[in-house]
Amino acid sequence: QVRLEESGGGSVQAGGSLKLSCVVSGYTYKTYSMAWFRQAPGKEREGVVGISSDGTTRYADSVKGRFTISKDNEKDTLYLQMNSLKPEDTAMYYCAVEDSLICTIYPTHYDAWGMGTQVTVFS
* Cβ burial, residue 85 (10 Å; 0-12/13-18/19+): buried
Q: What is the dihedral of CA 56, 70, 120, 46, to 10 degrees?
A: 20
Q: In whole angstroms, give the CA distance from residue 27 to residue 1.
A: 7
Mean pLDDT, residues 32-42 taken together: 96
Phi and psi torsions of 64, nearest 5°:
-60, 135
> Which tens digit of pLDDT belongs to each residue from 46-97?
999 999 999 999 999 999 999 999 999 899 999 999 999 999 999 999 999 9
* Rg value, the chain, Cα: 13
